[in-house]
Amino acid sequence: MAANQSNSNLYEYDVIVVGGGHAGCEAASAAARLGAKTLLLTMDMTKLASMSCNPAVGGVAKGQIVREIDALGGRMAVITDKSTIQFRMLNRSKGAAMWSPRAQCDKELFSRLWRRELENTPNLFIWQDTAVNLRYEATAEGKSRVVGLRTKMGVEFNAKAIVLTAGTFLGGLMHCGECSAEGGRAGDSAALGITESLIEQGFEAGRMKTGTPARIDGRTIDFSQMEMQEGDEEPSKFSFSTDTQAVKEQKPCYLVYTSVDVHSTLREGFDRSPLFNGTIHGIGPRYCPSIEDKLRTFADKEQHQLFLEPEGWDTNEYYINGFSSSLPQEIQLTALRQIKGMESVHIYRPGYAIEYDYFPPTQLKHSMETKLVENLFFAGQINGTTGYEEAAAQGLMAGINAVRKMRGQEAIVLQRDQAYIGVLIDDLVTKGVDEPYRMFTSRAEYRILLRQDNADLRLTPIGHEIGLVKGENWEKFVEKKSLVESLISFATEQSVKISEIEGYLKRNNFEPISQGRKLYAIVARNEISFLELAEELPKVKRFVELQGITREIIEQAEIQIKYKGYIEREKLLAEKLRRLENIAIPADFDFTQMNALTIEARQKLNKIRPVTIGQASRIPGVSPADINVMLIKFGR
């Protein structure tokens, strides 16, 4: 535990964060850096922000979330950059709205860096123990307010707000074949007591399932028989800050495939699979299925793609992406040894499934505070999500809003046209989940607005206003924003003659221009690269050099120019729909009295308690006709 605490205030905190995973680390870091005396309660200080599943951060839509966390002042991106062993920008062949950064990480280094970060954050203290129940008091309105918690070792802590980020540990039960054991992940015990404490307060709880593949020894793999997958030739990074650099040396991943023989072996164990024999009752993730689920769902496929991903610089351990399983370990090993290049493979540990308790997130406000208990916030897998990135985003927002609630300030709620984080939280609170929630670009209506490249332009002013982005990082952002605007203005005013551009167009077999044009109009053409023009045209090159404009700024300006029409169209649509967000619904309104609404709408509205017409319009079961009735009632 951190030093410099007197005995008199040892057990008194502004904010207590329960759980040291990705949600908990972001929540604790944010709360402490906002000036709140914060306690992070974790079962194991050596496993802070542990990469319990794959050793990677980002990916499609998830990479956008990580850049948004960074723009708001969170720490995940910085720590990812410092532990990256391979970087790839996914979907480069598609439009800019689909570009998604992804980094393979050294998982042990990632966790150590998070521990160093937290141990050196002022106002943040760490206690290694397990919470077993929460303590409450009644409010003047007759509701409950959380005031503290009790640990397994019998210690009682008091708090003005608690952020619960228990991950897969609440009632955790691991399965491998016919063997089951209590635990939140391999080697760690389950957390018992919290679920019961919450159910007593009236919370609804459920069970979900996730899983992880075997880990294998790289010394026993013949990589020469596999397809190597390198990182980007010119790798980028996640953080917008100058605190990190792009990775210079990278480790490769490897692509392999299952086969008919592999599938036949796996099917031999189906009768002993906890997924199929009724042992597991939790709901599993549709978008990250086990290998057993794949064989059932895609029975006609003769092979499935797998990736071997290194777990760090100084280890032989590899992660088999795509081979999550809870089959008996001898079945897993036999099947793995039938994969080309893995005939002699040794496994460090088999894959397993894990069931855990979660709480349907419709029981939350958009601030991440629970509706039933005041000053109690939930973040991460406890809300039915899956993925490090989704958890970290929720943790960041819960940590911020816990402090703001304690100080009587208005909660920070990101809108769906502001951030993927806004889409994530609104989906959880408004629609709920019937399976582990994973973010996709398709979930966002405003993908062109919510690109990974402009996350800082969208959210850093909010991070600055909150108090998490300051000093040099804020100054660098202001400078970057000014330079992007300056470059776009230059392109708008600068004329380009035919003679200056025709050589470049001919060499690249691009359609010629019939007359001189503004630089802006040339850059707007799909095939034209602004970076190449900056080298080709002396006037542009001179301006770029004099202004100190970087590759990142040129790329940002180019995207804004090329997608201007699409961007303006989405902004207009977002503005129209946002009007519904400005029409409030009284907090205590009884929807059962609105007979003009359908019965289903009345039931859903009374359960979820939307605060605006906009939120009500996104609730499944509430029709456009119901919204029109509500507009007549509340729109006046």
The CATH number assigned to the domain holding 548 equals: 1.10.10.1800
pLDDT of 24 reads 98
Strand 144-151 relative to strand 156-164, pairing: antiparallel
Does residue 163 fall inside a structural domain?
A: yes
What's the helix, strand, coil split of the chain in %, to 5?
A: 40, 20, 40
Does residue 266 fall inside a structural domain?
A: yes
At residue 283, does pLDDT exceed 90? no
Q: 580-583 — which CB contacts under 8 Å span 24+ positions? A: 580/612, 580/613, 580/614, 580/617, 580/627, 581/415, 581/612, 581/613, 581/614, 581/615, 582/612, 582/614, 583/612, 583/613, 583/614, 583/631, 583/634, 583/635
In this predicted model, what pLDDT tens digit does every residue of 361-394 receive, in sequence order? 999 999 999 999 999 999 999 999 999 999 999 9
Same domain, 34 and 127: yes
- Residues 516 and 502: their CA atoms lie apart, in Å, by 10
pTM of the predicted structure, to 2 decimals? 0.93
- Residues 560 and 383: their CA atoms lie apart, in Å, by 36
pLDDT of 1 reads 42
pLDDT of 588 reads 85
| Greatest C-alpha distance within the chain | 81
Which of 3-7, 73-77, 521-525 is modeled with the greatest confidence?
A: 73-77
Same domain, 438 and 479: no
Q: Order of strands, edge to edge, in the sheet holding 317-321?
A: 227-229, 253-257, 305-310, 317-321, 215-217, 347-349
Does residue 199 fall inside a structural domain?
A: no
Residues 573 and 598: beta-carbon distance below 8 Å = no
In this predicted model, what pLDDT tens digit does every residue of 393-433 receive, in sequence order? 999 999 999 999 999 999 999 999 999 999 999 999 999 99
Please report, rounded to a whole number, the percentage of residues in the chain having pLDDT higher than 70: 97
At residue 137, does pLDDT exceed 70? yes
Name residue, tokens 């690249």: 508
Same domain, 290 and 418: no
Does residue 200 fall inside a structural domain?
A: no
pLDDT of 242 reads 87
Query: CATH no. for residue 309?
Result: 2.40.30.260
- Residues 582 and 574: their CA atoms lie apart, in Å, by 13
Looking at 329, 352, 375, the residue that finishes a domain is 352
- Residues 605 and 634: their CA atoms lie apart, in Å, by 14
Q: 25-59 burial, b for 16+ CB within 10 Å, e for fewer?
A: bbbbbbbbbbebbbbbbbbeeebbbbbbbbbbbbb
Same domain, 162 and 30: yes
At residue 8, does pLDDT exceed 60? no
Looking at 466, 490, 520, the residue that finishes a domain is 466
**The two structure tokens encoding residue 104:** 């393979």
Same domain, 13 and 107: yes
Considering only CA atoms, which of 179, 213, 176 is closest in space to residue 52?
A: 213
In this prediction, residues 542-558 reach a mean pLDDT of 94
Same domain, 458 and 477: no
SS3 49: coil
pLDDT of 286 reads 67
**The two structure tokens encoding residue 89:** 């920008």
Q: Where are the alpha helices (DSSP H) in 243-320?
A: 260-267, 291-297
In this prediction, residues 94-109 reach a mean pLDDT of 95
State the sign of the Cα–Cα–Cα–Cα dihedral 594, 595, 601, 604.
positive
Does residue 183 fall inside a structural domain?
A: no
SS3 567: helix
At residue 636, does pLDDT exceed 70? no
Same domain, 132 and 273: no
Domain membership of residue 630 as a residue range: 582-634
Query: CATH no. for residue 623?
Result: 1.10.150.570
In this prediction, residues 551-565 reach a mean pLDDT of 94
Same domain, 337 and 229: yes
At residue 2, does pLDDT exceed 50? no
- Residues 172 and 182: their CA atoms lie apart, in Å, by 6
Residues 213 and 354: beta-carbon distance below 8 Å = no
pLDDT of 528 reads 92
pLDDT of 9 reads 65
At residue 295, does pLDDT exceed 80? yes
Same domain, 460 and 364: yes
Looking at 334, 352, 370, the residue that finishes a domain is 352
In this predicted model, what pLDDT tens digit does every residue of 43-94 receive, in sequence order? 999 999 999 999 999 999 999 999 999 999 999 999 999 999 999 999 998 9
At residue 6, does pLDDT exceed 50? no
CA 217, distance to chain mean position in Å, is 29
pLDDT of 37 reads 98
Does residue 257 fall inside a structural domain?
A: yes
At residue 134, does pLDDT exceed 90? yes
pLDDT of 47 reads 95
Does residue 197 fall inside a structural domain?
A: no
Same domain, 29 and 80: yes
Does residue 176 fall inside a structural domain?
A: no
At residue 306, does pLDDT exceed 90? yes
Same domain, 546 and 586: no
**The two structure tokens encoding residue 332:** 């897993």
Q: Where are the alpha helices (DSSP H) in 494-623?
A: 498-507, 519-523, 530-536, 538-547, 551-562, 564-581, 599-608, 613-617
Same domain, 246 and 139: no
pLDDT of 26 reads 98
The average confidence (pLDDT) of the chain is: 93
Q: What does each C-alpha distance from 45 to 1, 50, 88, 300, 589 come to in angstroms?
A: 10, 10, 31, 46, 46
Domain count, the chain: 4
SS3 157: strand
